[in-house]
Structure 1
Amino acid sequence: MDITQVALSRRTCKAYDPSRKVSPADVEQLKTLLRYAPSSVNSQPWHFFIVSTDAAKQRLARAAKASTYAANEPKILNASHVIVFCARTSMDDDHLTAVLDQEDRDGRFPKPEGKETQRRGRSFYAGLHRYDFKDTQHWMEKQVYIALGTLLFGASALGIDATPIEGFDQRIVNEELDLRSQGLTSVVMAALGYRSQDDFNADLPKSRLPAETLFTEI
């Protein structure tokens, strides 16, 4: 695969065809990409809500009814699927233990001392952000955006159109999905599906700053 062609052909979708749905097989591939997305010290501080029913999309669309976000309401309603990317609200010891135990079950520690070494290392960085930098929430949300980038590129490789969406009222999404009680908060959404003929962005040339202004090779 020529991955540059994936990057060059990808367009942020501005209008979806509600009659076209992403296949269950492709959804499973995208779920795998999200599950295996990289994160700092493999902390995996995320949860993903995959929304596909009309009723559930109507609930999400409430968060885009305000005039500030109105352009995103039809994207949410007409997309085949919408993924809500959530970050944890704390990097607590229970989560760190769950990650460590899963690594153990998956055979990440061929030597007995490896598990303790991993525990100390991850706890050090979690503590650094919690106590010294005091930016744990920001740190976790940055990991969520790594997963978003992974999804967008993977969707394009599968021929699926996508739209990253930050323009929504997070409080409404948090309430609709009862995120606070689950120790989660919404960060960003991604609409997935297939563009309609009304997508003005489909045939416009991509535009990026010149390579010579972006790269310095030393």
Structure 2
Amino acid sequence: MDLIEILKHRYTAKAYDTGRRLPDDVVAQLMAALRFSPSSVNAQPWHFFVADDAAGKARVATGAAGPFAYNAPKILNASHVVLLCARTTLPPAHLQAVLDQEQADGRFAGEEAREGQRKTRGGYVTLHEEAGDLAMWTQKQAYIALGFLLLAAGALGVDATPMEGFDAGALDAAFGLTEKGLAPAVIVSLGYHAESDFNAKLPKSRLADDVLFSRA
């Protein structure tokens, strides 16, 4: 299947087959899509909570209560669920961990290159801290990871459901997000759709090319 066919085929699942579980090798590839997602200055300002059993999914589903209760079955019935979180701050310890990992992975020809990367990344972090929009910046990076996850799922024949409809306070309480310096960005259910999923039978609808694209 070529890329255009993958893009046309993937859709947002509305109901999951509780009897089908993602194979371990497929899960590993989906997690790799998250891990290797790009981020501005490679800051990797995120953390991913993965639920692969009933208890974990129930914990994520605490955020699908009240006006968001319609999302609970999509979480509880899926094979796997990922809660994508963005870091609310980028403290020196995190930046040092990223720099040390880059060093271990052979990213620097020498100390000058390492120091240049440290200054560049630190400069961007300071820029957003001073502008007061660092949390918004990191949320944008989390959505890059979301895009990679959804495309990877489509390429692997996995159904997915991204959800912004959740109670952030409930998820904070369930996972201790604030104390970890995290904020929930989006929940993604993963698995195989049920026969009852009406959205699987509907044609994809997008605005036409001439509406969306203009020559610069």
Which residue of the partner structure matches residue 105 of structure 1?
104
Equivalences for residues 63-74 of structure 1 within 5 A = 63-66=63-66, 68-74=67-73
Code of the aligned partner of 2:148: T
Further displaced range: 139-148 or 180-189: 180-189
Number of residue pairs aligned between Structure 1 and Structure 2: 216
* Per-residue CA distance 1:52-104 (angstroms, 9 max, x = gap): 111221222222121x2122010011000110001112011111111111111
The structural deviation recorded for 1:112 is 2.6
TM-score by length of 2: 0.97
CA distance in 2, matches of 1:54, 1:111: 48
Structure 1: 5+ residue runs without aligned partners? none
CA distance in 1, matches of 2:59, 2:49: 13
* Runs of 4 or more consecutive aligned structure 1 residues displaced over 3 Å after TM superposition: none
TM-score by length of 1: 0.96
Which residue of the partner structure matches residue 78 of structure 1?
77
Which residue of the partner structure matches residue 216 of structure 1?
214
Equivalences for residues 47-62 of structure 1 within 5 A = 47-62=47-62
Contact 2:60 2:83 in 1 (8 A): no
Is structure 2 residue 123 aligned with structure 1 residue 129? Answer: no
SS of 1:4's equivalent in the other structure is: helix
* Per-residue CA distance 1:134-185 (angstroms, 9 max, x = gap): 1000000000000001000100100000000110101111111122222222
Which residue of the partner structure matches residue 179 of structure 2?
181
Which residue of the partner structure matches residue 190 of structure 2?
192
SS of 1:63's equivalent in the other structure is: coil
CA distance in 2, matches of 1:57, 1:107: 38
Which residue of the partner structure matches residue 15 of structure 2?
15
